[in-house]
Structure 1
């Protein structure tokens, strides 16, 4: 099940459950059941991997203490066969809410003592909330049964290129944002922000063999999971990553643990705490063994998105080692308290990233003192300004701040990334290319106009430690200027042409072909088609050849990676490999924005990765399968799910028809085109009728004379043909038009019948074709689906560059094409013409006095 199908099913279920469960609570139930299914399926997979048969699994019970201990020692818990999620499904109508209560109670009792920190109380939110599913046991059973049926097909094997719980959580929060409001925004980090932070951290840690990461306000756990995934691109063994998390809210603390476990992370690599980070800091120790388990927790990376400007109590915290060196955050704003907590817990060579409100960069008082101390102690490394409206539940501007314990440089890298996003509903969203551009800029510590600057500590001191981004990076658009000479006399100022210098460097001879040679400060554009000059210029032709050459053989390389390696390639790493290849191929091509090419790749990869996920999960045979196309229809006023034909699980029907059933598809298309033409011809006949003709033949039209009525037309035509031939009536006469309409309606009826029949036959033939594809046809179709569109989009980049140049030159030309003198002449001509018209007007004495004054104002006298 891909993401979109999963999202659709969950949203449908959520709407059905709204009468029983608060919208924002719904996620706790569905996530709890999903996690229980995961643990059940994991136990079954483990037993099967050890040679257990289906009959052996049916015998799993608490009474078999030896097997209980064996399973507990390997996976950390035990679930009896009667309590397995799969058993609930087999119960059918015999399933009862008590099955869930008993199973959750037994799970808590049967956790291995070594895994208590990971699993103890993890189902508390679900367990205590079951009564909210309905007022009676029966209604609770019905609601639980609906949820179980909903999630039974959700993938649980960890092969997905996304964390299932995190995706569902994000989807529900975004759709319930109005209901969840600020509470959701307090602990939820959008995936794109999480990914950006992860890429920055992963680059810093890329040479480490073992890594410890910590999130002190972990929420859903998405930050930790994304960092783990990003870091795993550079590390040989994922099991060498240890995860630490702390979360205040019980239900989200449980979600952190669920999410980490579901991603296949070893329980021994997960250490979590449910507590107040600011009031109840590590060192961590197990109360049963305080000396042996003492851990002050210094890690390689800390990442957090704490609740913004939260109230906290700084009283008696002066000696707290987290704050002693820098100062105490004010009562009403705990932002710097969280930041200093994070900084305290990183190793000397570690890194931290934190999301904070923009105000921490410039607010004074206690925060100003802390900021100064951080700068003077050389801890602030990077500041990234994010777009507004990027977080659910709040529209305030936010930043990511990157800090380190020890740095060789003393400057601060400031990036204004507030302009790079796409609009999704009411929220702004970072695109994949925005994330990569920012991460690459951080890694290379680059200066980029209107985007990034490395600021010296002296400059920051001169600004009294105010780090407000616009003081250092001006990302605003340059105001448009107008040349006064060109506005008065025409011509184009050379300085405006030189603003396109990047194009003239790439096409050295083109400027002379576009503009007249003038020794002064202004030139004129040559009177020829700009696009033709640009398109046919030798420099431009050479550029297009160079661009095409850069991608020579790339399609064959992608084919080798994706099609030939579809069953074994590493999905999470493959996009990085391909993007690196694109960047390398474009490195010598001028004018190209590599990040535009990367975005094209990512847009394609979103779809390709879903297919690869299905293939790697279900096997090669999945490509030759079709699924019922289920749609929602109204039946007796109730929404009912019904089947309308079939869909290719991976290969779309239209692609098969285009590639393998072209003749059949073309024949159908011809009839559909003819049907569309009949509709046009009917409208043309109706439009050709005069109002009198419409009155004469109103008995074949609807009430407002806007449409022919089939039955009435047929009757009228038959009457006309009684004792007559069609040729007896002139084609342009009302009678001739009625007969023409009858013929067209006959055509329309026959075409609709044939199109329905042919369409059904083609649909069935397409289904049969997919199910009987040869392997060679599969490879060819995947190439058409995955590679051809990607290559076409990449090759379009060069044409977009040339169209942009033509548009810019045309805009400069149009800007000064009409001078003030031309405008003045036009005004005079218009006034004169209007004055002449006024001469022809007559009226009362008062009217004529008014007209006389108007003529005087127009200069007509």
Structure 2
């Protein structure tokens, strides 16, 4: 299974194992043990790669060298794999974990003690939450160890990728399960990516760079910056700084970064209160020696209380701007972050919407920031995207030195997908935000660039609705059109871009009615047909079809090369393909490139990328004709088992490609069975309606069972149950049940014969697949549905336009005069009927 499937399975099992323990508590156990497993396997892989030995073969004199390499050393008896082996041999006690963690502390390298010291202190093996007695605790930990043992890293190059992905996934799941407690340690991945992409855009050209999160949480936001900067060849030269007040969350952050491949030398984390103790560095021995970083990302606790007394106004972080109120530390976190930026530094911080317009001290700070030109952008996010709050939030982007003499406002509050109790930013929403930010673009109803003069006219209030007016989706009602009929020309003018692109269509669809009003020239249901037959429109569709065909060929050329793509090539291929696709759909004013982008990303994430990773993991060579076999991948004669049917090529795909007649026959048999089951059930229900008490119902069930094979025998039993008078009119039902049941039985018998025969054909066909056939099948799997959906987008705008024009026609089709005439006719008919009734 791929890493996403593995992560899902682990979460489901872990959620079951924790029982009644709160998710916020159980996370310490599963994350702690997963990290220890990672350290154990990482040590074994390091020893094999560097010294061609195992931990068992390490000489005591070499331990110091390994400690210098890794920062720690784990004895063979304490390895995770040893625990698993002893559990299987029923020779394991919970004391093995206690001893191992104690030995781990003793064997941390002194130079890296800050990175590992106390990292497992939240793994409390004596907690009553694990069980009411030692035996229950031992069982709980043993089950957890065996659950995590399912994570198997077969390729050392994927070690950080898989472990890190699963670790991040589990953190996110625990955040959602923990509800309001999630705010302590997690920023939603979608928001992290937006912030990371914004700041990473400024880092990629730097050979060395530093990133800082003053409220680091689980470290996910920090790593997101590194992940986005990963496109640069200098990505290993990023240094991460973070401070976290919660000691448990601080431990998770250290584990998270180390597991994501951040070396201890590049990681400086601290457990302390950011606002009380300025850091990085700050005041040391009475001397101000702050560290300035290239970028800051932060998601501080919203509107937290803080101590703004005790000479805070003299603090260099705040003295040039003012102090945030004691009841709302939002601007205190912002100013702290801004202070630690280099002169060319950039920061992105998530804050509650209120910081844009609240008055008093916050207004003074906001005004000072604006006059200095340090607020670069305001990005409004949808409500409900944070697990720990339903209030609207924003991302503020700031710079130490003014780059633009204005502020970019983005209202992204309406773009999201509803999912359970929260709102999720879609890939299309994230891309749109980033495109607008990076290009500093203005889009109606979505973004606006406001000059300092405009902001000053608004008294330095940054509330987004003051600068961006949402596009009104409510259509106007024209009184004159309601009275006299016709479609207002001003409503038709809303589609001017469409008429400009296809000038002949307007005259085909409408004819003048009276000044400023037109009427439809075709039947309402024929509007789209009229559009689709226009020569200019057909040329547009032809071009879009050609674009999609060209893009489809590019997908095949890039992804189905002779040799497997490595992880970097997979990423580059995705970027190239999404840019091409977006460009094709962006060329037209009548197709939404973000809709096409979303379709591609969904297909990529759910199907294409997992397949490419599987191909890369097993180094599948497409020049090797017998690359695939049933339920396994074969490379150079080495069989790699996998639980998924057909691994890359499901049986259903092979069957449809080569044995479509058999597939059609089986589908038809199933359809006939379904059709026959309906009248069978109807006959049974009608029979059962003849009795009421439970005893008779039970007897009747036996009669129906008999009737399915022998209606005459069932007839005798029915006579005994109901008597001749009541039973006589039910005999036909018994015969119907017999006939229908026999037909179903025959159909099922045929299906039982055909399906296994088809399976055998498919398995045999696997053995003879050629390279060309393998590529063709993979292309079908990846592209058939996707290309069909992309083709549909090309018509979506015109279909919507046709529907809106039909709605406009129907809105004004019934005039006041016509309604009055109908009323008069109805009144006349009523009085005529009344006169007949009273005999006048």
Please indicate, yes or no, whether the TM-score normalized by the shorter chain is above 0.5: yes
Matches within 5 A, 1:168-183: 168-174=170-176, 176=177, 180-183=178-181
Identify the residue that residue 624 of structure 2 maps to in structure 1.
none
Q: CA deviation at 1:488?
A: 0.6
Change (3 A) 1:713 1:52: closer
Contact 2:510 2:518 in 1 (8 A): yes
CA contact (8 A) 1:382 1:401 kept: yes
CA 835–244 in structure 1, closer or farther in 2 if over 3 Å, else same:
farther
Listed one character per residue, the Cα deviations across residues 803-850 of structure 1 (whole Å, up to 9, x for unaligned) are 1121121111111111122233333444444555666779xxxxxxxx
Tell me whether 1:276 sits opposite 2:273 in the alignment: yes
Aligned to 1:555: 552
* Whole-Å separation in 1 of the counterparts to 2:408 and 2:605: 32
Deviation at 1:469? 0.7
Question: Which residue of structure 1 lines up, in the alignment, with residue 19 of structure 2?
Answer: 18
Distance in 2 (alpha carbons) for counterparts of 1:67 and 1:660: 60
Q: CA deviation at 1:695?
A: 6.9
Q: Specify every segment of 5 or more residues in structure 2 that has no aligned partner in the other structure, as ranges.
A: 154-158, 622-626, 633-642, 717-728
1:467 alignment partner, one of 451, 459, 462 = 462
Contact map agreement 2:487 2:519 (CA 8 A) in 1: yes
Name the structure 1 match of 2:605: 606
Show the counterpart of 1:651.
649
2:33 aligns with 33
Listed one character per residue, the Cα deviations across residues 778-811 of structure 1 (whole Å, up to 9, x for unaligned) are 3222211113322222222102122112112111
| Normalised TM-score (structure 2) | 0.88
Deviates more, 1:807-816 or 1:427-436: 807-816
Moved more, 768-777 or 204-213: 768-777
Partners in 1 of 2:168 and 2:600 — Cα distance? 24
How far the C-alpha of 1:375 sits from its partner, in A, is 0.6
Aligned residues of 1:309 and 1:335 also touching (Cα < 8 A): yes
* Structure 2 residue 813 is matched with structure 1 residue 817: yes
- Relative to structure 1, the CA distance from residue 294 to residue 338 in structure 2 (aligned partners, 3 Å threshold; closer, same or farther) is closer
Deviates further, 153-162 or 297-306: 153-162
Instruction: Provide Cα deviations, 1:631-668, integer angstroms capped at 9, x if missing partner.
Output: xxxxxxxxxxxxxx963433333223222443432332
User: Taking structure 1 as reference, are residues 667 and 462 closer, same or farther at Cα in structure 2, changes over 3 Å only?
Assistant: same
**Secondary structure at 2:735's aligned position in 1?**
helix
- State the Cα deviation string for residues 142-177 of structure 1 (Å, max 9, x = none): 111111111112255123497321111101221x1x
814 and 735 in structure 1: CA distance in 2 versus 1, 3 angstrom threshold: same
Q: How big is the shift at 1:682?
A: 3.9
Task: Provide the residue aligned with 1:808 in structure 2.
Answer: 804
Measure how far apart 1:394 and its partner are: 0.9
Q: TM-score, normalised by structure 1?
A: 0.86
1:532-583: CA deviation from partner (whole Å, max 9, x where unpaired): 1011111210110121122342222111222225432523443222211222
| Equivalent residue number for residue 163 of structure 1 | 165
Q: How many Å separate the matches in 2 of 1:225 and 1:623?
A: 37
Q: 1:648·1:770 contact (CA, 8 Å) conserved in 2? A: no
Change in Cα spacing, 1:273 to 1:789, as seen in structure 2 (3 Å) is same
Residue 310 (str. 1) matches residue 304 (str. 2): yes
SS at match of 2:312: coil
- Any conservation in 1 of the 2:175–2:185 contact (CA below 8 Å)? no
Q: Which moved more, 1:663-672 or 1:434-443?
A: 663-672
With over 3 angstroms needed to count, the CA separation of the structure-2 counterparts of 1:661 and 1:130, relative to structure 1, is farther
2:448 aligned with 1:456, yes or no? no
CA contact (8 A) 2:567 2:613 kept: no
Distance 1:81 1:162, change over 3 A: closer
Give 1:626's aligned residue. Answer: 631
Q: Is the contact between residue 355 and residue 398 of structure 1 (CA under 8 Å) also seen in structure 2?
A: yes
- The CA distance in 2 between the partners of 1:36 and 1:134, in whole Å, is 22
Cα gap change, 1:673 to 1:517, in 2 (>3 Å): same
In structure 2, relative to structure 1, the CA distance for the partners of 1:69 and 1:802 (3 Å cut) is same
Using a 3 Å threshold, how does the CA distance of structure 1 residues 516 and 245 change in structure 2: closer, same or farther? same
Match among 354, 363, 370 for residue 359 of structure 1: 354
TM alignment of 1:31-180, pairs within 5 A: 31-53=31-53, 56-60=54-58, 64-91=59-86, 92=88, 93-127=90-124, 132-154=129-151, 157-160=159-162, 163-174=165-176, 176=177, 180=178
- Please give the alpha-carbon distance, in whole angstroms, between the structure 1 residues aligned to 2:30 and 2:438: 39
**CA positional deviation for 1:748:** 1.1
Other structure's SS at 2:215 match:
coil
CA distance 1:183–1:314, shift in 2 (3 Å): same
In structure 2, distance between residues paired with 1:328 and 1:368? 11
2:592 aligns with 593
From the superposition, tell whether residues 120 and 587 of structure 1 become closer, same or farther in structure 2 (CA, over 3 Å): same
CA gap 1:714/1:217 in 2 versus in 1, 3 angstroms: same
| 1:387 is the counterpart of 2:385 | no
Cα distance, 1:34–1:569 mapped onto 2, change above 3 Å: closer
Distance (Å, rounded) in 1 between the aligned partners of 2:372 and 2:361? 17
Q: Please, which runs of 5 or more residues in structure 1 have no aligned partner?
A: 628-644, 722-732, 843-851, 853-860
Matches within 5 A, 1:696-707: none
Report SS of the residue matched to 2:423: strand
Q: Provide the residue aligned with 2:790 in structure 1.
A: 794
Gap change, CA 1:251 and 1:763, over 3 Å in 2: farther
Question: Does the aligned pair in 1 maintain the 2:76–2:82 contact within 8 Å?
Answer: yes
Change (3 A) 1:762 1:25: farther
Q: 1:261 to 1:765 in 2, by over 3 A?
A: farther
Distance 1:43 1:285 in 2: 36
CA RMSD of aligned residues (A): 3.3
C-alpha distance in structure 2 between counterparts of 1:602 and 1:132, whole Å:
42
d(CA) in 2 for partners of 1:299, 1:786: 43
Identify the range of structure 1 (521-530 vs 4-13) with the bigger mean alpha-carbon deviation: 4-13
2:263 to 243, 261, 266: 266
Secondary structure in structure 2 of the residue aligned to 1:159: helix
SS in structure 1 opposite 2:460?
A: coil
* 1:601–1:790 CA contact under 8 A, matched in 2: yes
Cα distance between partner residues in 1 of 2:702 and 2:789: 44
Q: SS at 1:647's partner residue?
A: coil
Residue 198 (structure 2) pairs with residue 200 (structure 1): yes
Give the drift of 1:321: 0.8
| 1:679-725, Cα deviation, whole Å (9 max, x unpaired) | 245468789x9x9x9979x9xx979999992423644346889xxxx
Cα–Cα, structure 1 residues 410 and 567, in superposed 2: closer, same or farther, change >3 Å?
A: closer
Partner secondary structure for residue 813 of structure 2: coil
1:575-586 alignment, distance < 5 Å: 575-586=574-585
| 1:374-421, Cα deviation, whole Å (9 max, x unpaired) | 111111000001000110021001000000011232211111110010
- 1:350 pairs with 2:345: yes
Matched, 1:520 2:515: yes
Assess if the C-alpha contact under 8 Å between 1:626 and 1:771 holds in 2. Answer: no
Which residue of structure 1 lines up, in the alignment, with residue 207 of structure 2? 209
Query: Which of the numbers 281, 292, 299 marks the counterpart of 2:293?
Result: 299
Q: 1:321 maps to what in 2?
A: 316
Structure 1: distance between partners of 2:796 and 2:129: 56
1:741-780 counterparts in 2 under 5 A?
Answer: 741-756=737-752, 758-759=754-755, 762=758, 766=762, 775-780=771-776
Question: CA 1:683/1:106 → structure 2, altered by over 3 Å: closer, same or farther?
Answer: closer
Query: CA offset at residue 457 of structure 1?
Result: 0.7
Tell whether the 8 Å contact from 1:32 to 1:126 is kept in structure 2 after alignment: yes
Residue correspondences, number:
799
- Report deviation, 1:280: 1.2
Partner of 2:10: 9
Query: Are residues 1:231 and 2:213 paired?
Result: no
Kindly indicate whether the alpha-carbon contact (under 8 Å) linking 1:206 and 1:231 is maintained by their aligned counterparts in 2: yes
Query: Matched residues in 2 for 1:421 and 1:257: separation?
Result: 32
| Match of residue 676, structure 1, among 674, 677, 686 | 674
Relative to structure 1, the CA distance from residue 199 to residue 838 in structure 2 (aligned partners, 3 Å threshold; closer, same or farther) is farther
Contact preservation (8 Å) 2:352, 2:393: yes
Do 1:646 and 1:767's aligned partners in 2 also have CA atoms closer than 8 Å? Answer: no
Residue 566 of structure 2: aligned partner: 568
